[in-house]
Structure 1
Amino acid sequence: MDLNQLNSALLSMSAGMEGEVSIAIHTDEGSIGIDADVPRKAASVAKLFILGEAYRRLESNLLSFDKLVYIDHQSMVGGSGVISYLKNAHVYSYQNLIELMIIVSDNTASNALLDAIGMEDINHFSKSIGCQHTIIERKFMDIEAAEKGKDNITTANDVVCLLKLFSRENDYFPNKSRREILRILGDQQFNNKLSTFNPNTPNIRFYRKTGELQGVEHDAAIIEANGKRIEAAILTEGWKNNGTGQHYIAEVGQLIIDYLID
């Protein structure tokens, strides 16, 4: 399967879907975009931008990953993650929080990092790398802020723009930081979307971050196989049943795998 065939297959599969779909895919052969600049609720995909600004601060000596943080009970929130379920476990390093934020999408860890880094600086970082449509306005599981109309927004193209900085040499992140970022993304524990049909062979690797809310299903990934590399963001919303959205993204993942290993 070449890139044109992948594009045609994605267009065909996405036509008439119940949900609203945005797809951005970057490859060495070219790019694919389907409503890729349409703003969507970012859900936990927003955590990728926190990750990026955290490593920028590390390189600028503005944040020590070894520093310990105490998280009191009042700061713990529900949703995805493990911190709020652990008894008598309140002290974490920033390194721990970053890993928990990505690997198990921990909302409490993410909010602690938002406190340490600041939404304004994360938004500035997003704009500085060319992600003009991304904005972080509230903490995770902040229902009161959501009811006031505040939300975290991004686009498929913005997410791929960031993924490219994680996966390819650039002036923002030195190779050491990129290797650490990829290690964390590679340890992702939620594997029910783009990597659902992963053949689990040594020559294919996924580095991913998912996101979901009621009616919203996302996956963003760097995928490597057979000497090829792609960066992909699939942002979807408007599902009556989230399982339908997860299945759709899994089917997209199957097409991407076919493209990479063909």
Structure 2
Amino acid sequence: MATSRSSRQTPGWGRPLRLLLRLVLMGVGLGVITGSALKLAGTGAQRGDWPIPSWLVSTDIAPQDEEAVTATGSSAPLSSRNDNLGRFETRNELTALSQRWKELAATQADLKVSAFMLVLDDGRYAQLEPDTALPAASSIKTPILLVTLEELDAGRLRWNEPLTLTKTVVGGGAGWMASKPIGTRFPTHEVATEMIRVSDNTATNLLIDRLGGKEALNLRFNALGLSATAVNNWLPDLGGTNTTSARDLAHAIALVDTGEALSIRSRDLFRQVMGTSITNTLIPRGLMRGLGGQQGKPDQSLMIKGYRVLNKTGDIGIAYADAGLIELPDGNRAVAAFLVKGPFNDPRSTEMIRKLTAAMAPVLKPKPAVSPAVSQPSTNQ
């Protein structure tokens, strides 16, 4: 009897083991229940049946960062995600300006004139035979720059990729690259910049060749909606076989500035290169004339008034052109393009572009901004 009493009083492992087993079973059961509940909640949230509390929504990506990622990683046009960039859409024709352009062109009946202007932010526009295909001269270098930067965005071209000078691409006329020995290599960024800065024809031919040649480039123009734009000959193309229209030139620039083409980074490169053009005797000078006031150097005088023009001209003697982006003092932007075909080296052709631009200037001039009311300090004691 003593031995039996002693065994009952000695603590054993039975009770702790049973308690541990119960805890394990309870933990497994709670895990299964919780997992099932979370799965159902996630499915319901995806369907929109269950709202997600605001404190569960991630805010790690700032809106501007998300836009930058989307701009380069999505096929959707940037303009569809940010209406502040404007769009290439004609909404309200400025009939008085269109008529004025028609009257100016009629004073020189032997000149063929094409003109187009669009304010990207509100759709106001004017036109004169905007879709007539005329010799592009060096103005075709703007859409070539656009396609070059598209290749950069696609990863098929690098901005510092060397391009080799060959006999095929050497072009006369404007520029200095033709004077370099055959076999000289130029980085793409220098080629693209010189094509715009000093209108280097050899630089242009280097890019035409690198982009796959004339036929491949024309297919790219068509894909962009530039139906009147075509490269049919190496530059300088003094015969005027390369063509474009005023609407096409304006459209090419607008595609970039509205975000419909190119990433944000390449858009900046486009604007940077276009800003290097040294010829400012057509749209900039005509705009300055139309705005009135002191007539100094066009770029500096326009800057003082709050305007900036990023433009590219063309000149092959029988045809002249100019097209550019015009930044206005109120932050709005317009695109404008002018083409004139006439007798060889006829000064009336360039003067016509200046007159058309001068007539356009008043409609681009924004209304004076009203200063916000400033509250006066109270005189009450």
Residue 121 in structure 1 maps to residue 192 in structure 2: no
Q: Which has the higher helix share?
A: 2
Q: Is the 8 A contact 1:228 1:260 kept in 2?
A: no
Q: Aligned-pair distance for 1:201?
A: 2.4
Q: Is the 8 A contact 2:169 2:209 kept in 1?
A: no
* 1:205-226, Cα deviation, whole Å (9 max, x unpaired): 1111111112211101111112
User: Which residue matches 1:259?
Assistant: 363
* 1:37-83, Cα deviation, whole Å (9 max, x unpaired): 11111111111121111011000111112112232567432211122
One-letter identity of the residue aligned with 2:229:
T
Residue 49 in structure 1 maps to residue 143 in structure 2: yes
One-letter identity of the residue aligned with 2:220:
F
Q: Is the 8 A contact 1:217 1:237 kept in 2?
A: yes
Q: Is the 8 A contact 1:83 1:89 kept in 2?
A: no
User: Which residue matches 2:241?
Assistant: 151
Higher relative contact order (CA 8 A, sep 6+): 1
One-letter identity of the residue aligned with 1:164:
A
| Root-mean-square deviation over aligned CA pairs | 2.3
User: Which residue matches 1:181?
Assistant: 270
Number of residue-to-residue matches in the alignment: 255
Q: Aligned-pair distance for 1:132?
A: 1.7
Evaluate the alpha carbon distance shift between residue 89 and residue 71 of structure 1 in structure 2; reply closer, same or farther with a 3 A threshold: closer
**Bigger Cα displacement from structure 2, 196-205 vs 60-69:** 196-205
Alignment map for 1:87-106 (pairs within 5 Å)? 90-106=184-200
Evaluate the alpha carbon distance shift between residue 83 and residue 36 of structure 1 in structure 2; reply closer, same or farther with a 3 A threshold: same
Which of 114, 118, 127 is the matching residue for 1:26? 118
Segments of structure 2 that go 5 or more residues without pairing to the other structure are 1-92, 289-297, 367-381
Evaluate the alpha carbon distance shift between residue 74 and residue 34 of structure 1 in structure 2; reply closer, same or farther with a 3 A threshold: closer
Name the larger-Rg structure.
2
Residue 35 in structure 1 maps to residue 129 in structure 2: yes
**Bigger Cα displacement from structure 2, 99-108 vs 129-138:** 129-138
One-letter identity of the residue aligned with 2:313:
T
Segments of structure 1 that go 5 or more residues without pairing to the other structure are none
Look up the SS of the partner of 2:284 in the other structure. Answer: coil
Q: Is the 8 A contact 2:253 2:335 kept in 1?
A: yes
Q: Is the 8 A contact 2:137 2:236 kept in 1?
A: no
Which of 239, 242, 246 is the matching residue for 2:343? 239
For normalisation by structure 1, the TM-score amounts to 0.88
Look up the SS of the partner of 1:195 in the other structure. Answer: helix
Q: Is the 8 A contact 1:3 1:29 kept in 2?
A: no
Look up the SS of the partner of 1:200 in the other structure. Answer: helix
Evaluate the alpha carbon distance shift between residue 240 and residue 53 of structure 1 in structure 2; reply closer, same or farther with a 3 A threshold: closer
Q: Is the 8 A contact 1:194 1:251 kept in 2?
A: no
Q: Which has the higher strand share?
A: 1
For 2:272 and 2:112, how far apart are their aligned partners in 1? Answer: 31
For 1:94 and 1:245, how far apart are their aligned partners in 2? Answer: 33
Evaluate the alpha carbon distance shift between residue 76 and residue 175 of structure 1 in structure 2; reply closer, same or farther with a 3 A threshold: same
**Bigger Cα displacement from structure 2, 50-59 vs 21-30:** 21-30
Q: Aligned-pair distance for 1:138?
A: 1.4
User: Which residue matches 2:253?
Assistant: 163
User: Which residue matches 1:191?
Assistant: 280
* 1:155-202, Cα deviation, whole Å (9 max, x unpaired): 1111122111122122x2122211210111112111111111343324
Q: Aligned-pair distance for 1:85?
A: 4.3
